[in-house]
Amino acid sequence: MNTGILGTKLGMAQLFDSAGLAIPVTIIKAGPCTVTQVKSLEKEGYYALQLGYMETQASRVSKPILGHLKKTGSLPLKYLKEYKTKTLPPNNVGSTVSVAIFGIGDMVSVSGKTIGKGFAGTVKRHNFTRGPMTHGSKNHREPGSIGMGTTPGRVYPGKKMAGRLGGKQSTIKNLSVILIDSEDNLLVVKGSVPGKPGTILSIKKTTR
């Protein structure tokens, strides 16, 4: 069953393999997550497992979410995430999902919000090349022409221009699990994942 888990990015480090090569890794505190709802084909029309992560105060949770959690007898949880499954999940409401669902060598996809970098120009945002710096040029980092003349007489939608950079949902696929620490709920994956330390991540096994 392809179930995922929620976690928090702790930061990056490096490990050394048997050949002495440095491997860049990301350390994630994954779970433990509480099963807050099990969705079935008969009632909701599809199979899914809803997980809750990070216990918090009841005053910090909206009333609809708090009422939903009280129905299942769950504690106030800050984040909820649904993972669709092909069959009815064997988990019961109130049970715990931990890093034990992963194994060393598994391939996972990690989703999260990228680091927001504010308003950025075309050179930084889209890797545009700069203009000439000498001979009286007044076009150093400007975008230049953005469209044609009379025909079509407009700018096509989706034109790459200056704007907000980062702060969007992103997914990095096929990251290999290097190390698992079940005692401290730590998951170490090869490579980088979206966001800065403290970012909430969704980790899911990659289906082959």
d(CA 170, CA 192): 12
Region 190-201: what's the mean pLDDT? 94
Region 109-126: what's the mean pLDDT? 95
Q: Which amino acid is at 112?
A: G
Tens of pLDDT, residue by residue over 147-177, are 888 988 999 999 999 999 999 999 999 999 9
Evaluate whether 164 touches 119 at the Cβ level (below 8 Å). yes
d(CA 182, CA 40): 30
The whole-chain average pLDDT of the chain stands at: 90
Q: In this predicted structure, what is the pLDDT of residue 175? A: 93
pLDDT bin (cut points 50, 70, 90) of residue 136 is very high
What are residue 124's phi and psi, to 5 degrees?
-80, -35
Number of H helices, E strands in the chain: 2, 12
d(CA 52, CA 77): 6
What is the DSSP secondary-structure string of 13-62? Answer: EEEE-TT--EEEEEEEEE--EEEEEEE-TTTTSSEEEEEEEEE--GGGS-
Q: What domains sit in the chain, N to C, each tagged with a CATH number?
A: 4-116+171-205 (2.40.30.10), 117-143+158-165 (no CATH)
What are residue 31's phi and psi, to 5 degrees?
75, -160
Of 28, 37, 76, 73, which is closest to residue 53 (Cα–Cα)?
A: 76
- The verdict on whether omega for the bond into residue 32 sits within 30 degrees of 0, i.e. cis, is yes
Farthest CA pair distance, the chain? 73
Of 128, 194, 124, which is closest to residue 163 (Cα–Cα)?
A: 124
Tens of pLDDT, residue by residue over 55-81, are 889 889 899 999 988 888 888 999 999
Residue 47: other Cβ atoms inside 10 A: 17
Of 98, 110, 112, which is closest to residue 190 (Cα–Cα)?
A: 110
